[in-house]
Structure formats: C-alpha cells, structure tokens
Amino acid sequence: MTARRGSVAPLLLAGWLFADLLLALTIIMLGAQAPPPVPAKSLAGKGTTSPSPSPSPCATRAAGVAAKPTKVSFRVHPGASDRELLGQVKRELRKYKKRLAGRHAGMVLTFGADGGAGNGVHLATRVNAAAGKAFPRIFQTAATRNFHDLAAPSGSISMEIYFVSDGCSSIRES
C-alpha cells in the first residue's frame, strides 16, 4: 500500500507544477501587452481655434495587404538557366500587364511544379527571384513564400499576389 502512495505523490506535484506554470505564463503575457495609446492633447486653449474637419473615410482606414489575391498562372522550362528563366518570367508576366501595372505586391505565394517536392519549391524560389529582377517596382519588396504543386505538370507556376492597398478604397458609410 505504501508503494502506491509513493507513486501518486509525484503525479499530484506535477499537477500543481503545471497550474503554477500556467499562472506564471498568464501573468507574463498580461505584462507583455503594450500600454494603451496616449490621447493627443488639445490645443484649444492656445491661440485661435478652428473647427476640426471631420475625418474622411480614407483617414480612418490603414493601408495594408489586400485580402483577395490576384492569381497568375504560366509555364516555364524548369531546366532553364537563370538568365533564360528571367526572360521567360518577364514575357509571361507581361501578359498580365493590366492587372499588375502601378501596383506593389505585399506578399506573393508561388507554387511550382517540377517532379519532387524539393524541386518544385526550388523552381518557385527561382521564379520569385526572377520576378523581383524583371519587375522590381512590383515584386522586389514583397514577402514571398515558395511551395510545390503536386497536381500540376512540370514547369507550371501559379502565383497568388497580394497587393498593398492604399487605404483609400471606396467604402460604404452607414
């Protein structure tokens, strides 16, 4: 009987240790939060006062990455040299000129197909690098993620481009 009690004690201690650690992590997380922003001081008591303009819909919206991507698909030769691949990517992306012109990509998800999973990711990486060189104003500062497409034939590229929004898109006021 005593052997059983001895084996239960560490189990009970483990439960209390877990509860204490959970409490400590909660306190750390609460303390790690940023303080609330300090409200701006009013200058109404100094000098002349003028009525403050009502904020426009654009002033209340922050710029960010669009929620819906622009999808682009094309084929390249996986065995091409970097120079040849740059030319292929440039030619293929020019076909989507209307959808890409004057915009800046915030994030690009590229799916490449070239046999094994590692090869597809490598091809997607090369295509993203080529797109950055071919169209630096659009792709150079974008965050890119490279994936392998298991269902596509070799040389297929599918890009999901999330453009940076200007924060002034039309919104409905209620």
117 occurs within a structural domain:
yes
CATH number for position 101: 3.30.2320
Angstrom CA distances, 7 to 4, 26, 33, stand at: 5, 30, 41
Neighbours of 104 (CB within 10 A): 15
Q: Please report the pLDDT score of residue 174 as a whole number.
A: 39
Number of domains forming the structure of the chain: 1
104 occurs within a structural domain:
yes
Mean pLDDT per segment of 10 residues, for the chain of length 174 residues?
60 79 83 70 56 54 76 93 94 91 91 84 93 92 90 92 72 41
Tokens of 81: 């040299």
Neighbours of 134 (CB within 10 A): 20
Q: Please report the pLDDT score of residue 123 as a whole number.
A: 94
Backbone angles phi, psi at 112, to 5 degrees: -115, 150
150 occurs within a structural domain:
yes
> Which domain range does residue 109 map to?
70-163
75 occurs within a structural domain:
yes
Q: Please report the pLDDT score of residue 116 as a whole number.
A: 73
10 occurs within a structural domain:
no
57 occurs within a structural domain:
no
107 occurs within a structural domain:
yes
41 occurs within a structural domain:
no
Residue 155, sorted as left (phi over 0), alpha (psi -120 to 50) or beta, turns out to be left
Q: Please report the pLDDT score of residue 83 as a whole number.
A: 94
